[in-house]
Amino acid sequence: MADIGFIGLGIMGRPMAENLIKAGHRLFLKSGRSVPEALVAAGGTPCASARAVAERAQIVITMLPDTPQVAEVLFGADGIAEGLEPGKIVIDMSSIDPIATKDFARRIDALGCDYLDAPVSGGEVGARAASLTIMVGGPERAFLTAMPLFEAMGRNITRVGGSGDGQTTKVANQIIVALTIEAVAEALVFASKAGADAGRVRQALMGGFAASRILEVHGERMVTRAFEPGFRIDLHRKDLNLALQGARTLGVALPNTATAQQLFSTCAAQGGGDWDHSAMVRALELMSAHEIAAGPR
Amino acid sequence: MADIGFIGLGIMGRPMAENLIKAGHRLFLKSGRSVPEALVAAGGTPCASARAVAERAQIVITMLPDTPQVAEVLFGADGIAEGLEPGKIVIDMSSIDPIATKDFARRIDALGCDYLDAPVSGGEVGARAASLTIMVGGPERAFLTAMPLFEAMGRNITRVGGSGDGQTTKVANQIIVALTIEAVAEALVFASKAGADAGRVRQALMGGFAASRILEVHGERMVTRAFEPGFRIDLHRKDLNLALQGARTLGVALPNTATAQQLFSTCAAQGGGDWDHSAMVRALELMSAHEIAAGPR
């Protein structure tokens, strides 16, 4: 039972903060908009600034859209850094740039505090159900201190390594998920235009080496045309942007990630930024003048 | 217990034929080289030509390197077509072009016979253990007749649809396997060059949506540098060539399959045609001037 700050109460942050309150913690809250009534009714305390949150809490969690927002909330005017005292812990659970994260961690360390990067996967459903996967980078001592909080929000919790390694792991996850969707999409569009039934092909492949969670869940979506999210293409585009930016900085070649990003952009240009990411198949269908839904030629 | 012809007694065909003999069938054999002694000792009968095999067997199985060899054995001088009588069944278990397969099936049908395409996955290990995955296209009647033979050679046996659909499914399988290897390779090279431990990243991702047989088995190979085959890059290049040729004929866009083929070619240029296909990661490592083995920068 600790005094916890939570900054960023959007689609993900709000249910995560709720789960911390349910677990018995006292929460100090700040949001870009006003703090949701329900959180205040549950016992959360709204604060006027990120600085005020950091002054009152021992551990401050951020859950924000992207790197610039995290930088601003940490180091901007009335930001977290201004309210910290030595011994406090900052945990960024947003999905942001791994390289910027290492810089943020160094600057928080310099204040005598610990910094953890702890991005999540599992989406809104996982946030509500407290079943998020949490990938953590940073000092082990802080990780162990924060563990009860992570356990109130998630299930599959791993400390991968030092600062930045949590964000790096999240980027790696988003690369694999996007490229496996793309792989299944190429295979099913090929099979369908060659005259086979995509649903039966998917079924035949599930038993072998091509098996994956993506073939199971997103292969099914492609066959049944169930493209309501799920995980929105616009969000996955943001994550692949982190991968491609990071790759440029590091000097890493990610040729298929670059192509997958173009296919997501093709969907967005078709008005599909809000489609589930499995709808990447629609870009390949457009390029191949063939819809899986239409069945054999 | 039937009279079975088996043409093509290489790394895959020989153990498959052995398993049919063990199951009690009488085998008539033909190979590009001489028929292995062990098969004759076990009771197999060597024949002088594919035609002679087709004259003596009710069901003729082919297991050959690629499309031109199958065309020659089926329709060349002293080929299978010359020895067939109505009511016999031809089963091609090679991995070849799905579009050519449909033409072969039509020509065999015209002789009053049935044609099944039944490519396999599982490699030499699966062929020996009679645990192959078998993906079948063609008429259901012939499929049911051939089932006892398939069961003597494999375990996961699916009739996907009509003629060509077995080969199409095999191509789809090889697309997904190659592109999932590529996905895992991009993710692990990125993570390693960003300073994370690739083995721990792989472990953290195994619990979530990025999970696949490829991440499990080939991700491990990339981390431990275990690149002895397994499945050779040269064989996977042949299969992706079938995918890219078919895609050109059908008018299907396979952008990441094309890139994966280039990465396999990069490995081959480095002398790696005999490496396991998971060694595709070495092409990305070359392009990124960073080996996963070297660990964090």
Q: What is the per-residue pLDDT across B258-278, written as a single tens digit (0 to 9) for each?
A: 999 999 999 999 999 999 999
Residue B260 sits at the vertex; the CA angle it makes with B234 and A195, to the nearest 5 degrees, is 90
Report whether B25 contacts B48 (CB < 8 A).
no
Task: State how far the Cα of B33 lies from the Cα of B229, in Å rounded to an integer.
Answer: 25
Report whether A254 contacts A239 (CB < 8 A).
no
What is residue A295's predicted lDDT score, i.e. its pLDDT?
Answer: 64
- B97, B83, B81: which is closest to B242 by C-alpha? B97
Amino acid found at B126: G
Amino acid found at A272: G
Q: What is the per-residue pLDDT across A191-239, written as a single tens digit (0 to 9) for each?
A: 999 999 999 999 999 988 899 999 999 999 999 999 998 899 999 999 9
Q: What is the per-residue pLDDT across A122-177, written as a single tens digit (0 to 9) for each?
A: 989 999 999 999 999 999 999 999 999 999 999 999 999 999 999 999 999 999 99
Strand duo B120-121 + B132-137: pairing? antiparallel
Catalytic annotation on B238? no
Amino acid found at A252: V
Q: What is the per-residue pLDDT across A271-288, written as a single tens digit (0 to 9) for each?
A: 999 999 999 999 999 999
B187:A172 CB<8 A: yes
Task: State how far the Cα of B270 lies from the Cα of B232, in Å rounded to an integer.
Answer: 14
Tell me which chain A residues have a C-beta less than 8 angstroms from the C-beta of B183.
Answer: 175-176, 178-180, 183, 256
Task: State how far the Cα of A232 lies from the Cα of A285, in Å rounded to an integer.
Answer: 19
Tell me which chain B residues have a C-beta less than 8 angstroms from the C-beta of A245.
Answer: none
Q: Is B204 on the interface with A (CB under 8 A)?
A: yes
What is residue A230's predicted lDDT score, i.e. its pLDDT?
Answer: 86
DSSP helix, strand, coil percent of chain A (3-state; round to 5)? 55, 15, 30
Task: State how far the Cα of A286 lies from the Cα of B296, in Å rounded to an integer.
Answer: 41
Task: State how far the Cα of A186 lies from the Cα of B261, in Å rounded to an integer.
Answer: 14
**Structure-token match 């069944």, residue found:** B89
Residue A144, Cβ neighbours under 10 Å: how many?
10
- pTM value surpassing 0.90: yes
Q: What is the per-residue pLDDT across B78-111, written as a single tens digit (0 to 9) for each?
A: 999 999 999 999 999 999 999 999 999 999 999 9
Nearest-CA distance A247 → chain B (Å): 7
Q: Is A294 on the interface with B (CB under 8 A)?
A: no
ipTM reported for the complex, 2 dp:
0.95
Q: Is B97 on the interface with A (CB under 8 A)?
A: no
* B123 three-class SS: helix
**pLDDT of residue B297 exceeding 70:** no
B213:A214 CB<8 A: no
Residue A125, Cβ neighbours under 10 Å: how many?
12
Please name the residues in contact with A223: beta carbons below 8 A apart, sequence gap of 6 or more: A188, A198, A199, A202, A292
Amino acid found at A263: L
**pLDDT of residue B294 exceeding 80:** no
Amino acid found at B95: S
- Is the omega angle on the peptide bond into residue B161 within 30 degrees of 0, that is, cis? no
- The backbone torsions φ and ψ at residue B208, rounded to the nearest 5 degrees and listed phi first, read -115, -150
Q: What is the per-residue pLDDT across B8-55, written as a single tens digit (0 to 9) for each?
A: 999 999 999 999 999 999 999 999 999 999 999 999 999 999 999 999
**Among all residues of chain A, which has the CA nearest to that of B242?**
A190
Q: What is the DSSP secondary-structure string of B182-200?
A: HHHHHHHHHHHHTT--HHH
Best interface-test mutation with A: which of B209, B244, B292 has the largest number of A CBs within 10 A? B209
What is residue A200's predicted lDDT score, i.e. its pLDDT?
Answer: 96
- Which letter, b or e, does each residue of B270-284 get, where b requires 16 or more Cβ atoms within 10 Å of its Cβ? eebeebbbbbbbbbb
**pLDDT of residue B251 exceeding 70:** yes
Residue A294, Cβ neighbours under 10 Å: how many?
10
Q: Is B165 on the interface with A (CB under 8 A)?
A: yes
| C-alpha gyration radius of chain B | 21
What is residue B208's predicted lDDT score, i.e. its pLDDT?
Answer: 86
Report whether A250 contacts B248 (CB < 8 A).
no
**pLDDT of residue A242 exceeding 60:** yes
Of the residues B30, B102, B170, B193, which is catalytic?
A: B170
Handedness of CA B213, B215, B221, B227 (dihedral sign): positive
Please name the residues in contact with B56: beta carbons below 8 A apart, sequence gap of 6 or more: B3, B5, B28, B45, B47
Exposed/middle/buried for B232, CB within 10 Å: 0-12, 13-18, 19+? middle
Handedness of CA B22, B23, B29, B32 (dihedral sign): negative
Task: State how far the Cα of B194 lies from the Cα of B126, in Å rounded to an integer.
Answer: 38
What is residue A296's predicted lDDT score, i.e. its pLDDT?
Answer: 58
